[in-house]
Amino acid sequence: MVAVGDAAPDFTLTDQHGQRVTLSDFRGAKNVVVLFYPFAFTGTCTGELCAIRDDLASFDNDDTTTLAVSCDSMYSLRVFADREGYPFPLLSDFWPHGEVARAYGVFVESLGAAQRGTFIIDTAGVVRWSVTHPLGQARDAGEYRRVLAELGAAR
């Protein structure tokens, strides 16, 4: 798994609207919360993403952006985002299947999906904090806010 202090593996993925998003485009401009989640439309994943949606100012502002990544297809992610009102990018790591999740060390081969993993990357492209949780255990968005505040990025 990518460790704190490592350079974050760069990637380009397609979001739910078909737009390509590249991690390194945020270097020098914003901290990035890269949030891997297993599956769209599941209770725990929906709850976690709704917590971000409901406190969007902490996760998408002048200093920070959030990129949510799953191995679901772009089309599934579009329906999921529209249904739940997610205004932030849901990125599809569908093909090559799980390539970005593998690069970050959170791909679960037996499921064909990403484990719950979160990486906070600073403006220099360095991982400053990370956490993983088992598939059924939700993460606490408050942890992200605390770390972002320590980076001077929380509003």
Is 45 tagged catalytic?
yes
Match 């956490």 to its residue by tokens.
131
Helix axes 43-54, 141-150, angle to 10 degrees: 40
C-alpha dist (Å) from residue 122 to 68, 117, 134, 149, 150 = 16, 17, 25, 12, 11
Name the catalytic one among 45, 68, 81, 141. Answer: 45
As a whole number of angstroms, the distance between CA 75 and CA 140 comes to 27
Close Cβ partners of 75 (under 8 Å, ≥ 6 residues apart) = none
Instruction: Enumerate the active-site residues.
Output: 45
